[in-house]
């Protein structure tokens, strides 16, 4: 007899979702997390007195709506803000506004507007195809069985349904880079770089890196997963985590916070449970980890507990991010040149033209600080004033091109980089620096420490074709099972990958139940 049917490591969104589905099916499930709050990367933190920010993920844009329904997250307290337009800030104040399929401002001509509609149509058809794959267990190509064959048949049918040109385009662009694809479609520099931004944030890539088209399409699946655009979660991301926890508990799962798993216990041939930092041992039929693959296999299981070929796969798994978060507590609402007060609540982005984006990658590659960054900004306190003291505001920004470990070290590097980032913001919001009462920069290594993501990677491992689908996280440990009997993955390191999307957790639970592993 084991203590539980399943132990889930990590109360992040995927862990909680997996737990909910398993508990709904009548299984006894214990979710363990080292942090004191549920939600993992869906977290809110008070970084300055009275200022609460979504300190890891800041937007919800691709969460699978079937999960919202299945787990009745609305009843569990999930409240979303209004869908945001994307405003790409230009130094002259004539900003580029992208709202759904329409673009305006910044002198975009009708040719580019039409090209944008065509591009969106194409992306939508590709993303639809990917969504089919994302909602199911990734099919293996060699040892086919009926489930996998069915998925491949569906995929084949979807490919067949693509128009001839789209099919040709998909085959052609999926392995190339976003830089070339942008230049093929558009002439407007800011339009190109604004789209390219979505291909590189959260990665350690620049627009000319391979796999950036794949990473862009990965984001584009959001539209098909039922999410209507980019939104902020009211109450901060932590409220989203909390709603998932409430739903999981309602389904019957037990959540134990502040309990750090130190080791995954294994006998000769299978997993037996986990050991906590308190020394407590808990047994279960299965251990399902929503921690990233490097953490799960290297730190919690240990290389000496696995066969060498697998250890090699884990060691070679790429998990690095060049993306940080900037948090500013502001004494008042900042003003951005050319933006009305109501527009400040939208998603504001700042990006150099694509060549600049590529140049900005270089210092990051060589462990130096860049003097050019990409910003993806939210001022959540406009729509949700409760997140800051009355009259005050917070600004949070996803900032790309931040090295993992700069040669000068973070003690000297952080103040220098914060000044640099604020001065870059000053170019668009003159006087913003004077409003800053507290500033905080959360670099990739901080995310690694606070949220357990190896390399600070949101995706729990680089999103690239060789680490995707039936190869995610690596051959030999796919379809949510691993090469170690009784150990499963349900986090972003499993198919279909990262972002607040929920599918790894949902798919893992379904696969485990289908296999009769419990």
Residues in the chain: 518
Residue 338 or 476: the one with the smaller Cβ distance to another protein is: 476
Q: Which of 305, 416, 445, 450 binds another protein (CB under 8 A)?
A: 305
Cis omega (within 30 of 0) for bond into 496: yes
The distance of closest approach from Cβ of residue 474 to another protein in the complex, given in angstroms and rounded to an integer, is: 12
Q: Is 262 in the site for another protein (CB under 8 A)?
A: no
Does position 158 interact with another protein (CB under 8 A)? The reply is no
Closer residue to another protein, CB minimum distance, 389 or 476: 476
Near another protein by CB under 8 A: residue from 3, 101, 277, 315: 315
Beta pairing partners, 328? 395, 439
Among 143, 165, 269, 280, binds another protein (CB under 8 A): 269
The minimum distance between CB 485 and another protein, in angstroms, equals 7
- Please say whether the beta carbons of 300 and 263 come within 8 A: yes
Smallest distance from the beta carbon of 302 to another protein, in angstroms? 6
Binding mask 386-425 for another protein (x = CB under 8 A): ----------------------------------------
Whole-angstrom distance, CA of residue 513 vs CA of residue 518: 7
* Residue 108 tokens, joined: 């975009």
356 forms part of the interface with another protein (CB under 8 A): no
Query: Any contact of residue 164 with another protein (CB under 8 A)?
Result: no
Helix (H), strand (E) at residue 415? helix 410-426
Look at the block and give the residue holding tokens 């969106």.
120
Binding to another protein in span 284-303, by CB under 8 A = 302-303
- Tokens at residue 157, please? 């049918």
Work out whether 431 is an interface residue with another protein (CB under 8 A): no
Task: Write down the least CB distance from residue 141 to another protein, Å.
Answer: 13
Which of 305/335 has CB closer to another protein?
305
For residues 89 and 394, give the distance between their C-alpha atoms in angstroms, rounded to a whole number.
19
Would you state the structure tokens that stand for residue 246, as one six-digit string? 């409430």
Binding mask 460-479 for another protein (x = CB under 8 A): ----------------x---
According to CB under 8 A, which one of 78, 310, 350, 441 is a site residue for another protein?
310
Q: CB neighbours (10 Å) of residue 320? A: 16
Torsion of CA 17, 21, 22, 28, to 10 degrees: 80
- How far is CA 287 from its chain centroid? 23
**By C-beta, is 307 or 407 nearer to another protein?**
307
CA dihedral in degrees (397, 401, 405, 407; nearest 10)? -120
Among 337, 436, 485, 513, binds another protein (CB under 8 A): 485
Q: Does 304 bind another protein (CB under 8 A)?
A: yes
Distance, in Å, from the CA atom of 228 to the CA atom of 401, rounded to the nearest integer, reads: 28
**517 is a contact residue toward another protein (CB under 8 A):** no
How far apart are CB 236 and another protein at their closest, in Å?
40
Q: Which residues pair with 439 in a beta bridge?
A: 328
Q: Is 60 in the site for another protein (CB under 8 A)?
A: no
CB of 315 to another protein, least distance (A): 6
Q: Which of 3, 46, 109, 307 binds another protein (CB under 8 A)?
A: 307
Site string for another protein, 213-252 (x = CB under 8 A): ----------------------------------------
Of 114-153, binders to another protein (CB under 8 A) are: none
Output the smallest distance, CB 313 to another protein, in A: 9
The closest alpha carbon to 238, from 82, 55, 426, 442, belongs to 55
Is 46 an interacting residue with respect to another protein (CB under 8 A)?
A: no
Phi (first) and psi of residue 232, to 5 degrees: -105, 150
Which CB, 28 or 319, lies closer to another protein? 319
Nearer to another protein, 21 or 297 (CB): 297
Q: Tell how far CA 289 is from the center of its chain.
A: 17
Instruction: Specify the residue, 112 or 292, whose C-beta has the smaller distance to another protein.
Output: 292
Cis peptide before 473 (omega within 30 of 0): yes
- 469: alpha, beta or left? (left if phi > 0; alpha if psi -120 to 50): left
Residue 311 sits in the site that holds another protein (CB under 8 A):
yes
| Angle value at C-alpha 209, between 313 and 190, nearest 5 degrees | 145
Q: How far is the CB of 312 from another protein (least distance, A)?
A: 5
d(CA 223, CA 217): 11
Closer CB to another protein, 311 or 422, in the complex: 311
- For 426-448, b/e burial (b = at least 16 CB within 10 A) is eebbeebeebbeebbbbbbbbbb
Query: If binding means CB under 8 A, how many residues of this protein chain bind another protein?
Result: 18
**Contact call for residues 375 and 387 (beta carbons, < 8 A):** no
Contacts (Cβ under 8 Å, ≥6 apart) of 7: 29, 30, 31, 32, 273, 274, 282, 284, 286, 287, 288
CB-nearer residue toward another protein: 12 or 486: 486
What single-letter DSSP state applies at residue 496? Answer: T
The nearer residue to another protein, 268 or 411, going by C-beta atoms, is 268
Nearer to another protein by Cβ, of 23 and 291: the residue is 291
Q: Which of 132, 226, 141, 93 is nearest to 496 (CA)?
A: 132
Enumerate helices (H) and strands (E) in the chain, giving the number of each. 16, 17
Closer to another protein by Cβ: residue 85 or 306: 306
| Interface residue list for another protein (CB under 8 A) | 267-269, 302-312, 315, 476, 483, 485
């Amino acid at each position: 007899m084991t203590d539980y049917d399943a132990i889930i490591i990590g109360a992040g969104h995927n862990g909680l979702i997996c737990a909910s589905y398993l508990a709904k099916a009548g299984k006894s499930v214990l979710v363990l997390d080292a942090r004191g709050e549920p939600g993992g990367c869906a977290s809110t933190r008070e970084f300055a007195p009275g200022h609460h920010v979504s300190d890891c993920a800041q937007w919800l844009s691709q969460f699978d709506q079937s999960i919202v329904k299945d787990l009745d997250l609305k009843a569990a307290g999930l409240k979303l803000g209004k869908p945001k337009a994307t405003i790409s800030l230009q130094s002259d104040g004539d900003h580029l506004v992208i709202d759904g399929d329409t673009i305006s401002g910044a002198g975009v001509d009708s040719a580019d507007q039409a090209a944008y509609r065509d591009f969106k149509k194409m992306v939508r058809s590709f993303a639809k195809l990917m969504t089919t794959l994302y909602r199911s267990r990734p099919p293996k190509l060699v040892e086919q069985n009926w489930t996998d064959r069915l998925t491949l048949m569906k995929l084949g049918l979807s490919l067949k349904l693509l128009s001839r040109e789209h099919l040709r385009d998909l085959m052609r662009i999926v392995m190339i880079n976003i830089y070339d694809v942008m230049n093929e479609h558009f002439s407007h520099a800011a339009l190109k770089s604004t789209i390219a931004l979505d291909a590189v944030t959260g990665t350690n890539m620049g627009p000319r890196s391979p796999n950036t088209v794949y990473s862009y399409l990965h984001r584009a699946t959001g539209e098909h997963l039922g999410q209507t655009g980019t939104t902020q979660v009211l109450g901060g991301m932590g409220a989203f985590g909390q709603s998932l926890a409430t739903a999981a508990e309602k389904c019957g799962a037990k959540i134990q916070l502040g309990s750090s798993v130190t080791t995954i216990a294994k006998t000769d041939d299978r997993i037996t449970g986990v050991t906590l930092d308190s020394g407590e041992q808990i047994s279960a039929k299965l251990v399902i980890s929503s921690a990233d693959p490097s953490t799960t296999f290297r730190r919690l299981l240990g290389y000496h507990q696995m066969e060498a070929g697998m250890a090699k796969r884990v060691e070679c798994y790429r998990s690095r991010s060049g993306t940080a978060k900037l948090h500013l507590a502001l004494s008042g609402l900042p003003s951005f040149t050319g933006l009305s007060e109501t527009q400040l609540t939208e998603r504001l982005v700042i990006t150099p033209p694509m060549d600049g984006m590529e140049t900005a990658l270089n210092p990051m590659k060589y462990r130096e600080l860049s003097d050019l960054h990409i910003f993806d900004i939210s001022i959540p306190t406009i729509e949700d004033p409760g997140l800051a003291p009355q009259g005050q505001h917070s600004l949070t920004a996803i900032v790309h091109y931040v090295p993992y470990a700069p040669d000068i070290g973070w003690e000297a590097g952080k103040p220098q980089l914060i000044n640099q980032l604020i001065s870059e913001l000053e170019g668009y919001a003159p006087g913003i620096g004077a409003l800053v009462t507290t500033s905080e920069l959360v670099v990739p290594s901080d995310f690694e420490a606070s949220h357990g993501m190896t390399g600070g990677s949101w995706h729990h491992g680089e999103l690239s074709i060789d680490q995707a689908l039936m190869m995610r996280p690596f051959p030999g440990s796919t379809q949510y099972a691993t090469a170690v009997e009784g150990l499963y993955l349900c986090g972003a390191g499993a198919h279909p990958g990262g972002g607040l999307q929920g599918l790894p957790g949902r798919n893992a639970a379904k696969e485990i139940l289908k296999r009769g592993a419990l």
